A and B are shown apart, each in its own frame.
Chain A
């Protein structure tokens, strides 16, 4: 499932990040790397960008960027 389609409040685990060069590199360096646990915190008022929690930080990214991240939603919403 793509990260940008994750329902708000859901936790998930990153499976892969599509390689588009520097953007992918930056995303992964900031923690959005395979295996990382993420949570979609909220969307901005106009629906874009979105805010995610990864490791111990809050990141804002655009939908076009979130689209590159494939995640597996956690079954239970702990």
Chain B
């Protein structure tokens, strides 16, 4: 059912601290009726869900988890703008649903106290009451409700407890418009802030400065030093100067306004919670005991290493059967389509698919297959990461790895996405959503494709087997081939770390984001919520990546297919006519009774296949892609490449592993070769320049491998970066810098290889 159909009667914002079970509640309320959209200029997604109640439709807008409305990035500012109804193209929200972690009531009420200032109707969902109970805390919801002047619902969102009461209140609101909360003792701005706020309004009025209409937004502008509201507003020196002065209260009170706000809000929270929380000495607290092991300096690191190896192995190997099955399915489908379309008879004995069949099979089906094949890895990675995230381990992993990651200017939160990049950059880039800081997240997105993903393996395996001697180093302990493979992995990690450090010092330079990370209480993951999230990621990947990658594959196909030269066909026709008559006469001598099945069979004979592949290669040599390759050959001279390697590289733009198939075709061996195919290996070993020098020297083999280690020949990755960074420029930047890196790295590798 299309959620955009009826206009909702009630539009509600869902907001809360991180780790409060917000997405679980969102999923419990809206189920599958969710959609995702992007806001311009920010990396957070707008997630909107709907559900029906007796009185009409309710729309729920999921806001990113936050501890406060203070905004230090455009992403955080979005929440303030949305709650203040300042997004012009969007209907303002009618009410706010605040989800609160009962086991940590005081800190969670900080955000609630800011939400009360909005003057919007508010419901407080006191979630995770079970955790609070286990901690020995009992909360009196009725007293809290009276003091806040807003409905309070006790909940366990993971089990659906408390949902009925929540829906009941929303149902009432549909019938009678809700009123803003009326706290017993409303929060009052401390005098210096209140004075500065009214002063700011008066001045702005006088100077005809445009200032935020809502008090909530104005307070953010005044209080948050270096915040997003300030950045947006203080565009002139006069405004900057004035804001600076407004923030400096008379000398006798030297406390900055931000500290003043925090202090007075916590004082208010103390009043509100007075006598509401009953604490009993808690029974043994499992989180602490688990952490004693999981963050132990030896055991913790060991368990972490084992978990990461397990994670990597699962994505790497666990997805393999499903990936093979998908590839086989598409291959079968391709064959079926190919059989359904009559082949074009070139000449006696040679039948080749026509343009339509080639477009469908080599272009469309191969293109879609190249995208869908990543799905098992994406799903597996998100399942595993989702479990680690939901149970609370992810924060511990960030805690353990932070020191290591800080060497390249990132934080511990970047570790898991970068590690996932070893399997596949696509889920890894999508996994960077756990990083709240925009600059850190972008840096991680931009360097993750340098990690050696599984698609590089076919290229490495083929070239290492063909050109790296099977000798041993260190007295037989380490094979040279294995060492080369390890060196290529190391190259990926090293360049990613160096690039991250560079980016963080140049383009993504900025204040070190605070690494204040909450280590949440351990808990069991909620299956339903996890499942919906997996589905969401899968659909997002297929929908957006699928369309563009498909288009690119078709373009690349066309470049390799056209123009079809009639001269080539005629040449082959002449040649094959002669050969066929020979083989026919030989046949008639052998068998007295000509068998129709036999002559049919002879079309599949090795010589025939070879000939049709030669014919295919001849056309490819004449294609637009090949012409471009010859044009570009001088450019790739420093890497020692001839036009064939150049073309193969150009054609592997949509996906790295395509180069194996293209090299196969170009060196006239046909398609369907795997990296273990020794005939392709020996063909590459035999390949030569026109003057007879061998083409693949050690230098060339190394330059190809290094190029593929560093390049961004994967359109799926580029598209996913565009989606996650919400900008084409970052996506193209990634492609650009990686290509330059690959080119330079390839040239250096060529030089080194030639010296050896």
Task: List A residues 33-76 near B (Cβ within 8 Å).
Answer: 33-35, 41-42, 44-49, 51, 55-62, 64-65
CB distance from B499 to the nearest CB of A (A): 23
Among A34, A55, A60, A62: residue with most chain B CB under 10 A: A60
Q: How far is the CA of A62 from the CA of B411 in the complex (A)?
A: 10
A34 to B132 CA separation, bound complex (whole angstroms): 25
Assess whether B519 is in contact with A59, with CB atoms less than 8 Å apart: yes
Q: Is A23 an interface residue (CB 8 A)?
A: yes
Q: Which of B72, B404, B516 has a CB less than 8 Å from the CB of A27? A: B516
Closest residue of chain A to B279, judged by CB? Answer: A56
Whether A44 pairs with B107 at a CB distance below 8 angstroms is no
Q: Give the chain A neighbours of B106 by CB distance below 8 A.
A: 31, 55-56
Q: Does B259 contact A (CB under 8 A)?
A: yes
* Interface residue ranges of B494-552 to A (CB < 8 Å): 511-512, 514-520
Is B226 an interface position by the 8 A CB rule?
yes
Q: Which of A17, A24, A26, A44 neighbours the largest number of chain B CB atoms within 10 Å of its CB?
A: A44
**In which size bucket is the chain B interface?**
35 or more
Q: Which of B67, B103, B105, B399 interacts with A30 by CB under 8 Å?
A: B67
Given known pairs A33-B266, A57-B518, the reply for A44 and B402 (CB within 8 Å) is yes
Contacts of A55 in B (CB 8 A): 104, 106-107
A30 to B301, CA, bound (A): 27
Q: Take A31-B107, A60-B399 as given contacts and tell me if A45 and B516 are in contact as well, using a CB distance cutoff of 8 Å.
A: no
| In contact, B514 and A23 (Cβ under 8 angstroms) | yes
**B224 interface contact, C-beta 8 A:** yes
Q: Check if A25 sits within 8 Å of B519, measured CB to CB.
A: no
Tell me whether A28 and B259 are in contact (CB under 8 A): yes
B297 within 8 Å of A (CB atoms): yes
Interface size class of A (residues with CB under 8 A): 35 or more
**B110 A60 Cβ-Cβ under 8 A:** no
Roughly how many angstroms separate A24 CA and B72 CA in the complex, as a whole number? 12
| Interface membership of B180, Cβ < 8 A | no
Closest 9 CB pairs of A and B: A46-B403, A45-B297, A58-B519, A28-B262, A29-B68, A25-B258, A56-B104, A60-B517, A23-B514
What are 21 A-B contacts with C-beta separation under 8 Å?
A21-B511, A22-B70, A22-B511, A25-B224, A25-B258, A25-B259, A27-B514, A29-B67, A33-B262, A34-B263, A41-B291, A44-B402, A44-B403, A45-B297, A49-B515, A59-B516, A59-B519, A60-B395, A60-B515, A61-B516, A61-B517
Interface positions of B (Cβ within 8 A of A):
67-68, 70, 72, 103-107, 110, 135, 137, 224-227, 256, 258-259, 262-263, 266, 287-288, 291, 295-298, 300-301, 395, 398-400, 402-404, 406, 412, 511-512, 514-520
